[in-house]
Amino acid sequence: MILGILGGMGPLATCELFKRIIELTRADKDQDHIHTIIDNNTKIPDRTKYILENGEDPRPEMIRSLIRLESMGADHIAIPCNTAHYFYDHISAYTSVNIINMIYETATYLKENHGEIEEYLLLATEGTYEMKVYDRYFEKLGLKILVPNDEDKKILMDWIHGVKSSRIDVGLEEFEGLVEKYRAGKNMPIIVGCTELSVLVKEIKYSKKYFDSMTILAEKCVELAV
C-alpha cells in the first residue's frame, strides 16, 4: 500500500501525523513501514478564514494536492486537518482514491469502543465549530458535543496559531483551567479536534482523559496497510 498525506495544514501537524504512523506501525526494519508520500502544500489558504471571513477558497489547492498524490500512486489519502473535512464531499469528487475521513473515523471509534460515554468537550478551530464539522457524524450515532463559549474559542485559536508558528505559549495549568471550566467535575472526556492542538496536548503532557482525532487517523492508516 502507498499512503498519501495531504499536508501543509499546518506543517508541524503534518509532521506529527507521519511520526505517529511510524510509531504505531509494527516494524523490525525499514521495509516494514508504510510507503508514504507527503505533499506538504503550504499554499492551501486558511480554512477558517474562508469560512468566517470570506477568505480565499482552499479547495483548488487541496484538489491539486489530491491529484498529485493520486498520480504518484497513493492508494489512500489522509488529511491531518479537522477543519478541512468540511470540504470532504466536494474534494472527494476529484479523485478515485479513498480519502480517509478523520471525523467519521473518530465518531465511529468512540461509538464502538466507548459507547457508554454520551458527551464530549470538543476543542477545535472556530471554523470547525461554525460549520459543525463534527456534529453531523456524532448526531447520527447519538453522541453529544459540548462547545466552549466565544471567548474561549478565541483563546483556542491563539493557541492553534502559536503552534502554527512553532511556538508553544500555553502551559498545562492554563490548558487545564479552560477544560475544567466545562467539565465541571464531570468525567467528560475531551476530543482534540484540531491537529495543532494534537501537537499542543502532547507537548504540555496533558494526562487527563482525552481522545485525539489525529491518533485515531494514524491508527486507521496503519490498519489499512495490514
Q: pLDDT tens digit string along 131-173?
A: 999 999 999 999 999 999 999 999 999 999 999 999 998 999 9
Annotated catalytic residue within 5, 6, 13, 81: 81
**Which three three-digit cell numbers place residue 98?**
479513498
Dist. CA 18–CA 146, nearest whole Å:
29
Confidence of residue 99 (pLDDT cuts 50, 70, 90): very high
Mean pLDDT of 34-53: 98
Whether residue 194 lies in the annotated active site: yes
Task: Determine the pLDDT at residue 182.
Answer: 94
- Percent pLDDT > 90 in the chain is 95
Q: Contact 3/221 with Cβ under 8 angstroms?
A: yes
Mean pLDDT of 31-41: 98
Q: pLDDT tens digit string along 45-81?
A: 999 999 999 999 999 999 999 999 999 999 999 999 9
Dist. CA 174–CA 163, nearest whole Å:
16
Whether residue 81 lies in the annotated active site: yes
Confidence of residue 210 (pLDDT cuts 50, 70, 90): very high
Domains, the chain, with CATH or none: 2-101+216-225 (3.40.50.1860), 103-213 (3.40.50.1860)
Cα dihedral 28, 13, 226, 92 in deg (nearest 10) = -160
Per DSSP, the three-state class of 60 is helix
Nearest residue to 17 via CA among 34, 31, 42: 34
Q: Contact 57/24 with Cβ under 8 angstroms?
A: no
Task: Determine the pLDDT at residue 184.
Answer: 81
Task: Determine the pLDDT at residue 185.
Answer: 75
Rg, Å, the chain Cα set: 17
**Which three three-digit cell numbers place residue 86?**
468540511
Question: Is residue 187's pLDDT more than 90?
Answer: no
Question: Phi/psi of residue 178, each to 5°?
Answer: -65, -45
Task: Determine the pLDDT at residue 186.
Answer: 81
Annotated catalytic residue within 6, 17, 170, 194: 194
The b/e string for 23-45 (b: 16+ C-beta within 10 A; e otherwise) is eeeeeeeeeeebebebbbbeebe
Confidence of residue 191 (pLDDT cuts 50, 70, 90): very high
Beta-carbon contacts of 133 under 8 Å, excluding residues fewer than 6 positions away, are: 82, 83, 85, 86, 103, 124, 127, 193
